[in-house]
Amino acid sequence: MSDKRLIGVYKANRGIVGEIAYVLGHLVGARECNLCDITHSPIKKKSEFKKLEKQLLTEFGIEFRLVHMNERTDKELAASAGREPCVLLEHEDGSLSMFLDYLELKACDGRVSSFENLVRSRLDFFV
């Protein structure tokens, strides 16, 4: 089993105020989070994404953790500040590197299948 972990960083804050601000901003086109579009429907986490999380853990031993901007550790903040949304890779030694940036997430256009293809192709380099 790998000691690596993927950490998805949303471009939104957790909490009722953060969620309302994001939803209202999204509705009027003032806010977007391409990672949110990949992982969630308007109501809940997509079943396809839940399936992908399980597959990554089973096939690669890699946990996929999702955090909002106000939930990041200091180390996660240092690796992702101003680059949200993104996916970080936590290495065995605890260091973090950019795994997928916001442009790559945007190219997925909210599709879990596109995201999965991108993650799997990138994991070939890291695992």
124: Cα separation from own chain's centroid: 18
SS3 49: helix
Residue 6 backbone phi and psi in degrees, to 5: -100, 140
Q: Determine the average pLDDT of the residues in 62-84.
A: 96
Helix axis angle for 112-126 and 47-60, nearest 10°, is 20
- Using pLDDT thresholds of 50, 70 and 90, give the confidence band for residue 62: very high
pLDDT digits (tens, 9 = 90+) for 10-23: 998 866 655 655 56
pTM: 0.87
| Whole-angstrom distance, CA of residue 10 vs CA of residue 29 | 17
- Residues 48, 72 contacting (CB under 8 angstroms): no
Instruction: Give me the residue spans of the domains in the chain.
Output: 5-126
Q: Name the residue among 123, 2, 11, 107 with its Cα closest to residue 66.
A: 11
